[in-house]
Amino acid sequence: MLFTTGSDEKKGTRPAPLIGRRVCLRALRRGDLVHLRKWLEDAEIRGLIGEVSSMSKEDSERFLEKVRGDAKRAWFMVVVKEDNRVIGEAGLLRMDRAWRTTDISVIVWEREEWDKGYGTEAVLLLLDHAFRHLGFHRAAVGVVGFNERALRFWTKIGFRKEGVQRDGYYYDGKYHGFVLMSILDDEFRELHGGNSS
């Protein structure tokens, strides 16, 4: 199916939920601001994802409205289905329908939820959505060069390294490389069968 999403998604407001075996990706709600504000206090994770500054209450409210109104973004909260626990955020951004390319992101903000397979499930849901439902051909991610966990994670999913932006990221008084990675729709289908479950 090629770019025949619901009208809500076209407006960039409320993407329909993506439901996996253990996690569900659902659209952001106003009530999520409390999570976003708490998470953005975590300077170490912010450094790992390239988000150098924290957010004030007003910033986070503006972010929520921006995300909801951005037609080039399909942004979700990552929720563990078992008990509705909100553990992070994930989505497609900078979606370029003409070029059939999109960027992708996942952040499991709650550290105690790392290494349980939730990030993998969230990304597979997003890639299936991007390639099978939205008709994109390519999904790309930029990874902070010292974020070893993320580099391993994306490689394991099947992303390939395209190159490094030399000194592309300035953090904590130093320059770091910024790694560009991508996966194409046929590579995804070959590795994962085009299905997240």
Ligand X SMILES: CC(C)(COP(=O)(O)OP(=O)(O)OC[C@H]1O[C@@H](n2cnc3c(N)ncnc32)[C@H](O)[C@@H]1OP(=O)(O)O)[C@@H](O)C(=O)NCCC(=O)NCCS
Binding site for ligand X (CB under 6 A): 45, 48-49, 106-108, 114-120, 141, 143, 147, 149-150, 152-153, 156
Contact between 72 and 93 under an 8 Å Cβ cutoff? The reply is yes
Residue 10 beta carbon to ligand X: minimum distance, rounded to whole angstroms: 27
3-state secondary structure of 80: strand
Q: Which residues of the chain form beta strands (DSSP E)?
A: 18-19, 23-27, 74-80, 85-96, 101-108, 138-144, 160-171, 174-184
15 vs 20 by CB, closer to ligand X: 20
At 46, is the secondary structure helix, strand, or coil?
A: helix
Q: How open is the CA angle 121-103-193, to the nearest 5 degrees?
A: 40
Residue number with CB closer to ligand X (15 or 119): 119
Shortest Å distance, C-beta 97 to ligand X = 23
Q: How far is the CB of 105 from ligand X (least distance, A)?
A: 6
C-beta closer to ligand X: residue 9 or 144: 144
Q: What are the angstrom distances between the C-alpha of 150 and each of 17, 100, 114?
A: 24, 24, 11
Select 9 or 92, whichever has its Cβ closest to ligand X: 92
* Smallest gap from residue 88 Cβ to ligand X (A): 6
Q: Which of 136, 152, 151 is nearest to 184 (CA)?
A: 136
CB of 81 or CB of 156, closer to ligand X: 156
Q: How far is the CB of 107 from ligand X (least distance, A)?
A: 5
